[in-house]
Amino acid sequence: MPARDLFHDIVKTALEREDWHITHDPYALSADSFDLAIDLGAEKVIAAERGETKIAVEIKSFLGPSKITEFYSALGQFIAYRTALQSQDPERRLYLAVPENLYKKFFATPFVQELIHQNTIYLITYDTDQEKLAQWIPSPNIANTLKPS
């Protein structure tokens, strides 16, 4: 089993507080001979007419000395996981969960925003102090209608 991120339990609990049902912890995938594991899988009934929304969440803390190096790693991991997920569970959307304070300082920069846009990265930001989710970018209601480019 892969090592859990420092904030794994914070994000998991915050999702549950927002009525997400955790279906996988971790969410195991395979791609050829590679065994992959996204941190969490979750489901939520949004509205009776819209049905169920399914997500997978890769949690990152970005606590190392180089935020850009960690971002490169997270971006590559996100793309690989999304590719595997699309073939094995195409109705599930992958989100990258990052600390809210990091989002404001690092992810909001024009260069990183352009990378997020070009690579269709869905984000969840979380507040480590209040142990809650802060933002969904885009909202999970919208995400199921979007297709990665």
Tell me the fold of 8-133: Trna Endonuclease; Chain: A, domain 1 (3.40.1350)
What is the per-residue pLDDT for 149? 36
Q: Count Cα neighbours of 33 within 13 Å in the Cβ-side half-sphere.
A: 0
How far is the C-alpha of 19 from the C-alpha of 88, rounded, in Å?
Answer: 25
Hey, where are the domains in the chain?
8-133
Average pLDDT over residues 89-93: 92
110-125 pLDDT, tens digit each? 999 999 999 999 999 9
Interhelix angle 67-88/110-118, rounded to 10 degrees, is: 10
Question: What is the bridge-based pairing of β-strands 27-31 and 34-38?
Answer: antiparallel
Q: Which residues contact 98 (CB under 8 A, 6 or more apart)?
A: 60, 62, 107, 123, 124, 125, 126
